[in-house]
Amino acid sequence: MKSNEDQGLLEGPLNRQIFRLAIPTMLGLMCQALYDIVDLMWIGIISPKAVAAMTVFSTYMWIIELFNEIVGAGSVSMISQYHGERNKEKTQLAAEQTMAFKFILASAGALVMCLTLRPVLGFFSEDPEVVQLGQDYGFIRAAFLPIFFSSYSVNTIFRCSGDGRTLMILLAIAAVINIILDPIMMFDTIPFIGLPGMGLGMKGAAWATVISISFSFVAGIILLLGGKAVIRIRPSKLFKLSPEIDKKLFTVGLPSGFTLAFRNLFNIYLMKLIASYGTEAIAYVGIAGRLANFGMMPFAGVAMGGGVIIGHSLGQGNEQRALESSAECSRICITMVSILAAFLIIFPKKIMSFFLGGQIPSADGWSLILIIGISMIIASLGSGYQASFNGSGYMKPILWAGIIAQYGIMLPFSLAAKFCGAPVIIIWLSYNLGDITDVLVKRIFWKKMKWLKNRV
């Protein structure tokens, strides 16, 4: 293990060290988010129903990703703190068990998805075309779920060891592969250049994503197995579970898993509610959701990069640096997210139209883009709190913030709006209310400072 990599995280100006991890992490995650953005752009050319089908599938995918979130959240805290302690054996073991445990869970998740995909699609939409398009896209994505989860594990290992640069390069190359393959595999004639394509439609979009993510996984695992990364993975350990480590991975990440479970249950309810306003409304949510996911990558990058520094600092017993890192994360994230959100707030109509194949969106559509831009700025205020909880492994505040925001605020508000016959635009406002509540609850927990004393 390269001790100088670890030492660098604990020395020097905080903003520089956070940027050192956050920028490569953020850019890497942006490249990863481009998979869905690019798919969405090309799928929008097919039809709004195709966008709706992708949106419904993604809603189901979020449920299955619960397993990834549980192990993934635990792995971030454990790998970061063990690496901060310079405990090579524990760091390696945590990384190896993360990969092995996730692969098993993903295999079970893939089986469940393949068996239940059709009825789940039918639950959200009665349109047979939406259901068929969702199956064309979803079965391929579901079958490769173990590769997806394993690629997330590779990303976590690089990020938590401070090697965000390698991760950024792998994800950037994968994103370029996806961008190139999408039009080639989806259309009979490749748009703009007129050359013949494969004409696979939604299946082509799924295959392009699968191939690109498989590349990043294979390239990453070669580096980890070959000793070309900060943490080296031992092949023999990938086929043997460690009950002690696996239990800790599960228990540390369980609050985060509950958070995602409650969030996804709420998303199911909200998607079903929105579906009652028609297929077009589902498409609007799908587009806005992908844009929000992309625009919030600075939040994710800063929270993860800052979380690694906080985890290392706590592992070394440097609580003051952990506190300073938390505050610096918030300042950096607010600035970066606000710049991206400004485009959504200023150009909502043009942005929504772009993802609808040039169609002019209704007020229902472009107003959601505006509201999502505002929500991004609100959510960015909590990035320092998120980094603190991630790095310390103190995940309960994230759980409670999600429950209170979604079930205490968004649920009754949206139900009341629907009961009163309000237009879907009123439903969109629940996103702003939920984000305000989420940040406030996290702040209350953060100020109690229990996270500062937490160790995994």
Q: What pLDDT score was predicted for residue 7?
A: 47
Per-residue pLDDT of 363-382, as tens digits, reads: 898 999 999 999 999 999 99
CB atoms near residue 70 (< 10 Å):
27
Residue 165 token pair: 């640069």
pLDDT confidence tier of residue 325, bands split at 50, 70 and 90: confident
Residue type, 217: F
How far from 389 is each of 34, 252, 319, 405, 408, CA to CA, in Å? 27, 11, 13, 18, 22
Domain boundaries defined on the chain: 3-453
Q: What pLDDT score was predicted for residue 408?
A: 95
Residue 298 token pair: 């600075």
Q: Which helix (H) or strand (E) holds 361?
A: none
Of 331, 334, 370, nearest in space to 350 by CA = 370
Burial class (CB in 10 A: 0-12, 13-18, 19+), 118: middle
Residue corresponding to tokens 């710049």: 339
pLDDT confidence tier of residue 149, bands split at 50, 70 and 90: confident
Residue corresponding to tokens 């109690």: 448
Of 198, 223, 241, nearest in space to 99 by CA = 241
Q: Which helix (H) or strand (E) holds 18?
A: helix 14-46
Helices (H), 187-318: 202-225, 243-275, 279-295, 297-315
Per-residue pLDDT of 384-443, as tens digits, reads: 898 888 888 787 898 899 899 999 999 999 999 999 999 999 999 999 999 999 999 999
Q: What pLDDT score was predicted for residue 162?
A: 67
CB within 8 A of 72, min separation 6: which ones?
98, 102, 152, 153, 156, 253, 256
pLDDT beyond 80 at 242: no
Q: Across the strands, what pairs with 189?
A: 196
pLDDT confidence tier of residue 13, bands split at 50, 70 and 90: low
In DSSP notation, 59-108 reads: HHHHHHTHHHHHHHHHHHHHHHHHHHTT-HHHHHHHHHHHHHHHHHHHHH
Exposure b/e, 126-140, CB count within 10 A at least 16 = b? ebeebbebbbbbbbb
- In the DSSP assignment, the letter for residue 409 is I
Across residues 449-456, what is the average pLDDT? 81
Mean pLDDT lowest among 20-24, 140-144, 398-402, 431-435: 20-24
pLDDT confidence tier of residue 5, bands split at 50, 70 and 90: very low
